[in-house]
Every structure is written in structure tokens, then in C-alpha cells.
Structure 1
Amino acid sequence: MALSSRIDRFNERHPWSHNDLYGGWVVHQVRSCGAESLLDIGCGTGNLIDRIRTHVDRVTGIEPDAATARVAAARFAGNDSVVIEQVRFDQLRSPRQWEAITLVAALHHLPLVDTLRDLDRLLSPGGRLVVVGCFRSAGPIDYATGFVSSIANLVVGKIKHPHPSDQLPIEMTAPTTAPRETLTEIRCAAAEYLPGARIRRRLFWRYSLVYDKQRLRPSSGAPEHSDMPVRQRRPPT
């Protein structure tokens, strides 16, 4: 049996979620911006929502896969602060904006440029976009990082899931797709459509992106807030 096949078989018997690994980091990014409303795109069975819902007032999760969305909806049934919608992102028709938007392993399922434009539109001024995404490997740095991730994946899988299993956890059963864009292509698109976005390469074939949308500036002629005392005009004599 080829080495790659043996590694794949080991990973199947000791599964763990790369996405959940970054859940705490995502929660911190949302908490630190003070958001009160959150849109989680590709929410899956709701693992991230379960961790973040106590830190925001209102959470909307959208999930295109019907079976996965049903699990998430049942999980938060009776919770008025969480709404789960079984809908594709391109079918989301909402006039509202959210103060924070999260995507974990979801952006590569969507057309990159169009989605970045839509995300900026859905994000309220002063809001924060947080992405943990997947990218297509291309070049020596990607392959070197991927090799390190492959070794670390075996170790973490054995620690997190020490007993062999023939069944994936339910949160890992949603449909997957291979990423199309390289990290360089993602950086270039973000620089154009999300200026100021901060992107970092991560382990386990992931990258992170954080984008803070600028607040609206006062229109010309409108008085700006100042802590300086207002000087009173002397009445005409």
C-alpha cells in the first residue's frame, strides 16, 4: 500500500475537524470588535455558532446543505437569538447588514470576486469580516507547509481521536469541494475588494483573513464631534 494511501486511511480512522481548531480564534476576533449581530456563512451543524452565540445578541447562520442545516436548526430550536436558514449564499436576499460576518471553510465553495463584493455590501460600516479559508497549493512554500501539516495532522488526530473509528463526526459529513484559488490569488482579490484586509497563512491547509470596514465619514458640511469647548460668538454691537 502506498504511503499516501496509508496516511489517508489513518486520517479516516482518527478524524478531527480542522475548522473547529480555529473556532476559538474566530470567537476572539468577533468579541474584540464588539459586534452585536453576526452572519455565519456555511454554518454547518453550528459548532462555531454554539461557541459564539453568548458573545453577540443575534446570530444568523446559513447553510446550503439541507441535512446539515436541519441538524443546526434542531440544535438551536427554541433559542430566539439564533436563526438558521437553509439557503445558498447567492440566494440570500436581505436588505440588512451585520456587524460581523464569519466564513470557516466556506469561501472556496463560492465565486471569489463576486462573494468579496457581496460580503462588503452585507457588512455594516465599522463591522468585521473573519474568514478561515482553504486555498490551492502552488509553489514550494505551500508544499512545505503542507508537508508539515500532514505530519502534524497524524499527531493531532491520534491525540484528539485516539480510538479508531469507521464513522466521521456529523460536523464533518457536509459536502466538500477542492479550492480553486491559490493564496496569492486570494491576496490579490482581497487587496482590490477588501482594502486593508489582513491575511495570514495557517497550518492544516488554511489561511485567515480579517477585514475591518471603515465607518461612514460625516458628510461635508455636517459638524464633526469634538471634545473641545465651543467658542461662543460675541453678539454684534
Structure 2
Amino acid sequence: MTRSTPKRILLKLSGEVLMGEGAFGIDPTTVDRIAGEVAAAKEAGFEICMVVGGGNIFRGLAAAAKGFDRTSADYMGMLATVMNALAVQNALERMGHQTRVQSAIPMETVCEPYIRRRAVRHMEKGRIVIFAAGTGNPFFTTDTAAALRAAEMGCDALYKGTSVDGVYDADPKKVSSAKRYESVTFDRVLNDNLKVMDASAVALCRENNIPIVVFNIRETGNLARVLSGEGVATIVGPATVEAA
């Protein structure tokens, strides 16, 4: 499938990406490198908003499995995403790019509350908007938050930067013969339970016709290559993508 060039995108980053080579936490060098790639995309003319996960600091589902109350654990995970968002904001603004963090959990002394019309206006003014604290509700992942914000912002595509270079029919870290898809439909992802994003996020993108582009953000320079249509990635889209 030939990739169309989007204008407005939502970039979803897993929190683990910000760890760099560490076992947990935020690696400033890695944050600066990723912020540099986002800044370059902005300078290339893309309108960008972002959602960053919190798994490098705290993962609510894992904590719940060890005895934490699930609701409390999820709120803790949301707060971790705010820390990551502020780290990325700091890096971007040191590079000269105006950035706003909007949190689904109001904390006015730290960042703006999430207000859709204000977020749209920020993007129209050329600012990068980072959405934090997920949807503001427990039991929903940052993947779902990314799909929701992409729909609300009228994004042309959702780019998921992760540690693998696309969608596979099995876990490539465990199965050496796993096949990578160039493109795959929303329906196949849901029916085959392919590990792209959680089901609610995929369904939300399907309903709003927002393609998901999965690529490896750990590879330096890959965001620019994927945005130009040259990098290795998997496109998740409507039924026409597999026939293209």
C-alpha cells in the first residue's frame, strides 16, 4: 500500500521508550533524541500532538496483578504519564518549539487541563500538544487515550512508536519465524488478537477511519523516514489496505 502524506498526526510513544538502555525511569539523552525527531517533523510542516505512556515509571495493570487496587493503580499510572509529558515538553522547548501539556486529570499548577477546543487552537498556532493522564479514567490504557485524542483532534493518522518495526503474526521476540505485515486491516487485528494496541483503541480508530502506523522509534531517524513513507512500518487500516 502506498502511504499518503498526512498533515496532522498523533504520535503515541510507549513510556518504556524513554528509558533508553536503563531498566526504568527517564533517560535524558533518549528524551532529547526523540524530542529532536519530533522537532524535525514539526519543522517539516507536520501538525503534531502526542500521547506518552507511563510504563517506564509505573504500570497500573502490573501493580494490580500484585495486589494493588486496580483503580488506584491506574491513577498512579496516569500520574506517571504526566511526568513523562513534562520531560518531553522540557526537551522540546529547549529546542525552541512551543509546547503545551494538557492533562485529563486537572492539575493547573503543573499543566493545562484538557480542553479540546484549546488543544485544537494550540495546534493551529503551531504548538506541539502533549496529552497526559490518559483519558482521566481507570481501566483505559494510554493506547485508548491516543485513539480518542486522535479522533478529537481530527488527525489524519496515529503513529505508534514502539520497540518493534511493525505488526507481526506472532511475538518476534519469542518466535524467530514471525511474519511482519506491510499492511493489515483493523478487522484482522481485532479478530486475530494481534498485539498492536488494545481492542478499544483499534475499534475507535476503525470507527473514525484513522490509520495506525506502527514503527520502531528506538531506531534513530526512523520517525522522519516513516513520515516520508520510506521507513519500515506496518499500516493498520480499512479493508482496502491488504488488497492494495
The bucket for the TM-score relative to the shorter chain is 0.3 to 0.5
Q: Which structure: larger Rg?
A: 1
TM-score (norm 2): 0.36
